Amino acid sequence: MKAHTTSLINAIALISMGTWGYIDSDGGAVTALIPVIIGVILLLVNNGVKKENKTIAHIAVLLTFIVLLGLVMPLKGSIERGNSMGIIRVIIMLITSLLALISFIQSFIKARKARESK
């Protein structure tokens, strides 16, 4: 799958799961909106990723990596609270972020090989 497609899927997952987490949290935890904000940014830069703009692609990779690392603590918290829906939401975001990151890395490797073969 192409990097822009997996990034788009990741952005949608972050926005939808993060919004659901915010609505579902007791008292509306503002930190649940962090994945939503990153998802919106990824959505906004997706066209640049599709056009293979290096700078935008690297920004998208960095944001994807940050959100991947940042989801570890919410997963831990959901597990400690025994919140099965929270666990599922965070795991979905982790999986989509990891798949997007793998797609980006494969895309960068492919681009480098193409550049070196010229």
- Name residues whose C-beta falls within 8 Å of residue 54's C-beta, 6 or more positions apart in sequence: none
Q: From start to end of the chain, where are the E strands?
A: none
**In which band, very low, low, confident or very high, does the pLDDT at 85 lie, cut at 50, 70 and 90?**
very high
Contact 57, 104 (CB under 8 A): yes
Average pLDDT over residues 86-98: 96
Average pLDDT over residues 71-82: 94
pLDDT at 96: 98
Nearest to 96 by CA among 3, 5, 9, 4: 9
Average pLDDT over residues 61-74: 95
